[in-house]
Structure formats: C-alpha cells, structure tokens
Amino acid sequence: MATLTTSSKRPYHIIVFGATGFTGQFVVEEVARTCNEGPGGTFQWAVAGRNRDQLEKTLIQAADALCKPELKCVEVIVADVAEPESLAIMCKQGIIVLNCVGPYRFYGEPVVKACIENGAHCIDICGEPQFLEGIQLKYHSKAQETGVYIIGSCGFDSIPADMGICYTQDHFKGTLTAVESFLTINTGPEGGCGHDATWQSAIFGFADSASLRRIRRKFGHKPLPAVGARIKKRWGALFFNKEIEQYVIPFMGSDPSVVRRTQRYMHEEHKHSPVQYMAYVGIGGLFSVLKTLFAGVVFWFMVKFSLGRGLLTEFPEFFSFGLFSKTGPTRKQMDGTSFCLKFMGEGYTNGQDPSQGKPNATISTEITGPEPGYIATPITMVQAAITLLNEPHCLPNKGGVYTPGSAFARTTLIDCLNKHGIQFSLKKGQ
C-alpha cells in the first residue's frame, strides 16, 4: 500500500486533477475549506490540468470566493491525459489524485493506469457503469499488487445510495433483505440544471449499453442469492409514490450498479447477506410525467445514431427541456437546490428464518443534503479522500478497484458527511 504520509519526493496529500473543469473548480473550493482535516491537522495539496494559466485563474477565483488570498500560492502541476509522461510526473507527487476529468469513458483510464504504476490512490466522481465496471475488470488485480486504491463513483453518484444502504443495514436489527430508494430534487425560485459534461456521459453511456453486458459476462459472476422474499415488482416503469407524493420512474444513473457491486463484495468477502435494491427518482405531477416521457422517447431514439448523438451533444438545453446546459447552474441556482433520498427497507428480525414466510419488519432511513451535482459531490469526494488519508487501516487490507461501500463501510465516512451538511438519519425502525 502506498504511504499516506508526504515526503520530499511525494509532497502532496491530495492533487485535484481537472481543477479547471466545471465540477473541478468546486472541488478545489471544498479542498480549500477542509485542508485542516487531514493527518496531523492539515494536508498539503495541489491542482493539476492542461493549462497553467487556467489553473492559476481557478485558484484566484477560489481565493476570492472563499476570502482566502493564500490559495493563490497553491502549487500548479501541468498534466494532460494525452501525455502519459505528464500523468506519471503528477502521480509521483501525490498520495491521492482526485480525478475530475470526464466523461471518464474517454479520459479516465490513462489516469487510473498512471496512478497504479506510480503509487498514487485515485478517487473519481464517475457515474458511468461501463467505465467503473470495466476498470474493475481490467485493473483490480494490478491495483492489489501495488497496494493502490482506485475508488470510483465518489460523488452524488453514488456515495449517498451506496453508503445509505450500509447505514440502513447497520440500523436494522436482523436480516435486511430488500430496499427501495426514492430520490427527490427540490429547486428554489431560480430553478436548476446540470452541466453539459453529465449530459454527455448519459448520451454515450446509453448509446454503448451493449458494452456493459459484455463486461459483465467477462466477470463470470454467479447471480447473487435472493435472501428472503424477492423485492416487489412494480407494474410498469411509472407509478405514484405516497411517501414522496410524486410520480416516480426508475433511476437511470449508476446507483443500482454500484450498490450491486458492493453487495457482491460484502457477500463474497465477508459473508454478509446481500440486499436486493431498486432505485427510483421523483419527477413531479402529471405535466412533468408527460414532458419526461416525451423527452425520454426522443432521447432513446436519437442516441442510437451518430447524427442524433451529435444533435443531443450540441443542444443539451433544448433536448433536455432545460435540465442540462453548456454553462451549468448558477451559484444562486445551486444555493436554492437540495436533495432528499429516502430508503424503504424490509427484512426479518433476529431469530426469524428468512427462508420461511414474508418479511416481518420494516425500516425507513433518509439522506438530505445540498445541491447534488456541484455542492454535495465535492463534499462527498473530498470527505472520501480525507477518510482514506486518516483511516487507511479501516479500508480493505489490499489495494484494488472498489466501490464506496466496499471501501468505506468500516470507516467514519458517514459521520464525516453528517458534519458537512449531508445528513443520514433513521426515520422509522422496527
């Protein structure tokens, strides 16, 4: 395992790679806010990217936004995914690389490879199952050999969902067998939207869904056992949920994929009973339903053709009905936005045989937090890095490619998130 202490040869605890990107700039600000939480009370950090002038401009903007003029003196490292030698030089200088350069299917693998070859841990905020599972297939053994941790999906996709399942399991007195989650996003009077990079990840992810099936076949996994009653099947992809008082549809992000990988790891490595999981997202009332269905049909048709993908990429605001834009949300929009993720679980109390009869106990937990894409995501990413720095002994014994839940289940990450505005709470126990 790579050392978690700095040295003259490896002077930085954290390097923010892609610091000039839309998300990267907010990660820089979050690192600056929390740099007194590292080993020994502080950590050393740097920013990295292709353009020195833009990196320096990002630091000036962060210094002004946080009223911290000292940020203008943070070290700048020039590195480009197209230049492996520059990535190697960057990775040799840091303990952890926070990779903010996406879409990851195009730019992620060279960073992972450089981290493994040069002894730096890597944390990303990827929501692309093809990339996440492909990296696990290709690099898990190599990362184990070098003691490097590669921990993907450490943003809103998918720390709340993955750690939320861990939290719900920990608070269930018995065998938790099935969980449904329901996500709602609340915006203020200014409205809200996502950035174009997330939209592009969705376009190319759906267009290349066949590759995910090929990757999964190569793993050769046996199906996870369904302990207890099978999770209830919803009739149709759309239904009204009384808990959140909205119509909901299946959540199309990486959460189900990430949670399944964590549950497989926990079952195979620690003999934990796997939890069945379904994720849904609220879309509002009937008008929102019609708009979503129409946009979904158009999107599904257009991603199948290169011309359609080109149009979707060129005009994100038009084809997403304003949900995504090339400029992303304003700070005022972000300040007025929040999320709530509810978990509804069922299972069997201690002493009850899950193979006999229906579940006899339920549990409800909840995670609430600020705007998910550019406030909550930097918080979860940076707290994941700080947890790795402070509690390496609580992670799996060897390096490797891990999900957040498999990496951080035995750490205090949830407590850290609670202190930074992402609140985990038990709403109803058995």
> What average pLDDT does this structure show over 195-211?
85
Residue bearing the bigger pLDDT, 13 or 197: 13
What is the per-residue pLDDT for 296? 85
69, part of any domain: yes
Identity (one letter) of the amino acid at 165? Answer: I
The chain-wide mean pLDDT, for the chain, equals 93
1, part of any domain: no
323 and 176 co-located in one domain: yes
What is the per-residue pLDDT for 1? 43
Q: How many domains does the chain contain in total?
A: 2
**Exposure string (b/e) for 404-423, b if CB count within 10 Å is 16 or more?**
bbbbbbebebbebbeebebe
277 and 259 co-located in one domain: yes
> What average pLDDT does this structure show over 93-104?
96
CATH code, domain carrying 255: 3.30.360
* Angle between helices 286-302 and 306-314 in degrees, nearest 10: 130
322 and 199 co-located in one domain: yes
Any bridge partners for residue 338, and if so which?
A: 186, 370
Q: 3-state class of 356 per DSSP?
A: coil
For residue 246, pLDDT beyond 90: yes
Nearest to 167 by CA among 369, 423, 430: 423
Count CA atoms within 13 Å of residue 28 on its CB side.
Answer: 31
**DSSP designation for 302:** H
**DSSP designation for 253:** S
Q: Which residue has the tokens 């600020």?
A: 370
What is the per-residue pLDDT for 261? 97
User: pLDDT tens, 256-314?
Assistant: 999 999 999 999 999 999 999 999 999 998 888 888 888 888 888 898 889 999 999 99
Nearest to 74 by CA among 38, 28, 30: 28
CA angle 133, 305, 106 (to 5 degrees): 35
Residue 75 lies in domain: 12-154+377-409
- Token reading at 31: 């690192």
Nearest to 363 by CA among 425, 429, 424: 429
31 and 147 co-located in one domain: yes
> What average pLDDT does this structure show over 69-84?
97
What is the per-residue pLDDT for 163? 98
What is the per-residue pLDDT for 198? 86
272 and 421 co-located in one domain: yes
CA 172 from centroid of its chain's CA atoms: 24
334, part of any domain: yes
What is the per-residue pLDDT for 3? 41
Rounded to whole angstroms, the Cα distance separating 277 from 275 reads 6
What is the per-residue pLDDT for 235? 62
2, part of any domain: no
CATH code, domain carrying 381: 3.40.50.720
3, part of any domain: no
What is the per-residue pLDDT for 388? 97
> What average pLDDT does this structure show over 120-129?
96
* Angle between helices 22-34 and 196-207 in degrees, nearest 10: 120
Phi, psi of 46, rounded to the nearest 5 degrees:
-145, 165
Q: 3-state class of 72 per DSSP?
A: helix
81 and 181 co-located in one domain: no
232 and 274 co-located in one domain: yes
Confidence of residue 2 (pLDDT cuts 50, 70, 90): very low
How many percent of the chain have pLDDT more than 70? 98
Confidence of residue 40 (pLDDT cuts 50, 70, 90): confident
Confidence of residue 4 (pLDDT cuts 50, 70, 90): low
275 and 343 co-located in one domain: yes
What is the per-residue pLDDT for 111? 98
Element (H, E) at 22: helix 22-34
Nearest to 195 by CA among 329, 382, 59, 26: 329
> What average pLDDT does this structure show over 248-254?
91
User: pLDDT tens, 141-182?
Assistant: 999 999 999 999 999 999 999 999 999 999 999 999 999 999
106, part of any domain: yes
